[in-house]
Amino acid sequence: MKQPATFWGGWAALALLALGGTATAQDSVSAPATGGNGIKVGSGRLHPYFDLETRLDSGVGYFTARPDDPLSPVSPDLSGELAMHFRPGFKLEIPSPTLAFNLNGNLDYVLYTGLLTANSGAASRMQGAADLLARLNPDAPLSLEVSDQFVRSDRTRTAAIGAGVLSLFNEARVKLPWRPGGGAVELAPNAAYAVEFFEPLGSNSPVDCGDGVCDPIAADRFDYGNLHFGLEGRWRFLPKTAVVLDTGVDLRSYFNDGSPDATLFRAMAGVAGLVSPKVAVLAKAGWGQDFSGDGGGTFIAQLEGTYLYSPNLSFKGGFLRQFEPVAAYGTFTDNRGYAEARALFGGKLTMRLGAAVDFLSFAGGRSDTLVSLDAGPEYQFRPWLTGAVGYTLGSRSSSVAGGGLNYTRHEGYARLSVMY
């Protein structure tokens, strides 16, 4: 088994340096929430940090049954391993009434120890993430937001593809928020362009893979570019209640002719606001329509509620129905139910529990069910030192046969974060 980690790791580092030089997914960059004084940069602060994480993962990838024989059969199941993450990064925040600037970035070297799967070390690799947001005149009636998100990891955003794949994703976005008058009305036209490239974690495929979507070796045929144009709107007709509008069109094309292109239009409208001082609700509904390929459209909606039991305890849950472009099939529908609880004890200990179930329906008849769970505590020992442990569960079952599409993945981790 051979992994070109040096080649892709170099490109990841170059991309991160380019982002840092030019100028949140956010959820893509997980920087510690607090830190030390940092390094003064103009009116802002630069906070270097370092994460050391140990992760016991039951689903690293597919490996030969006998490491000493490269021609031996490949295990039909994902193999487990103990992995070490060495993650240096930085968080830059420059507040300003004229040009506010935020940049988070990290490099993540993933080292597979070989303690559980003898030849898993070949899958060791460099990952990385960066998140940029620049806002010109953020407090003015007319402002400009430019952002970019870069992620390289084994968690792909393409729902049709199976496990054992590395994803290189980048999306550049621009938004023009306009708040005429007193700000009760806000319109925000926006545009974005995203690309995602795939490569296998190794040179082996699961033996029971009968469809190209579950074969990591062939994943690069699903490389794509996605051009998005949208319009977001909000009208605050009461102090704590607003009408919301979210429309957009996605032009999805594939670089290697591995999938049907899609021209997908979506529009939703609804209300968002406080039902009581402790309960907030978001409700919106609309329609999604594909104007290319075989066409097709469906009803889309979101209903979400948040309950603030106390300043230190909150609950959130909801249902989301999405219609999205996807590789291999053109489009898919996702019916997602989700719930989350967070609690803060003593100002330092944070407990969280999140769960979700997704029912995916792809054009052409394929259907998948995904179950996810994330739980664990995080404790702030010092303003600059944070520790966390946790457990995540990812389970997937599909009407398409193949180990990469039918599996259960358990992950336990312990992380220590130091931020200056």
Average pLDDT over every residue of 67-73:
56
Question: What number of other Cβ atoms are within 10 A of residue 126's Cβ?
Answer: 19
The rounded distance, in Å, linking the Cα atoms of 192 and 97 is 25
Specify the pLDDT at position 202. Answer: 65
Average pLDDT over every residue of 67-79:
62
Handedness of CA 17, 138, 302, 362 (dihedral sign): negative
Average pLDDT over every residue of 382-387:
93
Residue type, 69: D
Residues of the chain with pLDDT > 70, as a percent, come to 87
Say if 33 falls within a structural domain.
no
Confidence of residue 204 (pLDDT cuts 50, 70, 90): low
Specify the pLDDT at position 22. Answer: 33
Closest CA to 160 of 260, 268, 299: 260
Average pLDDT over every residue of 48-61:
91
The residue assigned the tokens 């830190």 is 35
Specify the pLDDT at position 7. Answer: 33
Question: What number of other Cβ atoms are within 10 A of residue 276's Cβ?
Answer: 10
Average pLDDT over every residue of 301-327:
96
Average pLDDT over every residue of 143-169:
91
Q: 73 or 164: which carries more pLDDT confidence?
A: 164
Tokens of 62: 């597919």
The rounded distance, in Å, linking the Cα atoms of 192 and 35 is 32
Average pLDDT over every residue of 179-199:
93
The rounded distance, in Å, linking the Cα atoms of 109 and 129 is 12
Specify the pLDDT at position 11. Answer: 35
Average pLDDT, whole number, for the chain? 87
The rounded distance, in Å, linking the Cα atoms of 127 and 199 is 13
Q: 10 or 87: which carries more pLDDT confidence?
A: 87
Specify the pLDDT at position 18. Answer: 33
Contact 200, 404 (CB under 8 A): no
Say if 3 falls within a structural domain.
no
Residue range of the domain that includes 362:
44-419
pLDDT(378) > 80? yes
Weakest mean pLDDT among 2-6, 93-97, 191-195: 2-6
Specify the pLDDT at position 168. Answer: 96
The backbone region for 228, taken as left when phi is positive above 0, alpha when psi lies in -120 to 50, beta otherwise, is beta
pLDDT(143) > 50? yes
**SS3 per-residue string spanning the chain:** CCCCHHHHHHHHHHHHHHHHHHCCCCCCCCCCCCCCCCEEECCEEEEEEEEEEEEEEEEEECCECCCCCCCCCECCCCEEEEEEEEEEEEEEEECCCCEEEEEEEEEEEEEECCCCCCCHHHHCEEEEEEEEEEEECCCCCECEEEEEEEEEECCCCCCCCCCCEEEEEEEEEEECCECCCCCCEEEEEEEEEEEEEEEECCCCCCCCCCCHHHCHHHHHHHCEEEEEEEEEEEEEEECCEEEEEEEEEEEEEECCCCCCCEEEEEEEEEEEEEEECCEEEEEEEEEEEECCCCCCEEEEEEEEEEEEEECCEEEEEEEEEEEEEECCCEEEEEEEEEEEEEEEECCCEEEEEEEEEEEEEECCCCEEEEEEEEEEEEEEEECCEEEEEEEEEEEEEECCCCCCCCEEEEEEEEEEEEEC
Q: 326 or 117: which carries more pLDDT confidence?
A: 326
Tokens of 49: 């940090």
Specify the pLDDT at position 207. Answer: 59
For residue 402, the domain's CATH number is: 2.40.160
Specify the pLDDT at position 73. Answer: 54
Say if 100 falls within a structural domain.
yes
Q: How far is CA 395 from the centre of its chain?
A: 17
Specify the pLDDT at position 200. Answer: 85
Say if 394 falls within a structural domain.
yes
Residue type, 336: R
pLDDT(19) > 50? no
Specify the pLDDT at position 12. Answer: 36
Say if 60 falls within a structural domain.
yes
| 238-270 pLDDT per residue, tens | 889 999 999 999 999 999 877 899 999 999 999
Specify the pLDDT at position 1. Answer: 36
Say if 31 falls within a structural domain.
no
Contact 402, 391 (CB under 8 A): no
Specify the pLDDT at position 165. Answer: 87
Terminal C-alpha separation, the chain: 40
Average pLDDT over every residue of 342-347:
94
When divided into structural domains, the chain yields a total of 1
Contact 237, 262 (CB under 8 A): no
The residue assigned the tokens 């193999």 is 79
Average pLDDT over every residue of 364-373:
94
Specify the pLDDT at position 128. Answer: 95
Q: 211 or 142: which carries more pLDDT confidence?
A: 142
Specify the pLDDT at position 66. Answer: 61
Confidence of residue 28 (pLDDT cuts 50, 70, 90): very low
Say if 129 falls within a structural domain.
yes
Contact 405, 396 (CB under 8 A): yes
Specify the pLDDT at position 60. Answer: 79
Weakest mean pLDDT among 4-13, 62-71, 115-124, 312-321: 4-13
Specify the pLDDT at position 9. Answer: 36
Contact 176, 182 (CB under 8 A): no
The rounded distance, in Å, linking the Cα atoms of 149 and 170 is 6
Weakest mean pLDDT among 184-188, 212-216, 382-386: 212-216
Say if 65 falls within a structural domain.
yes
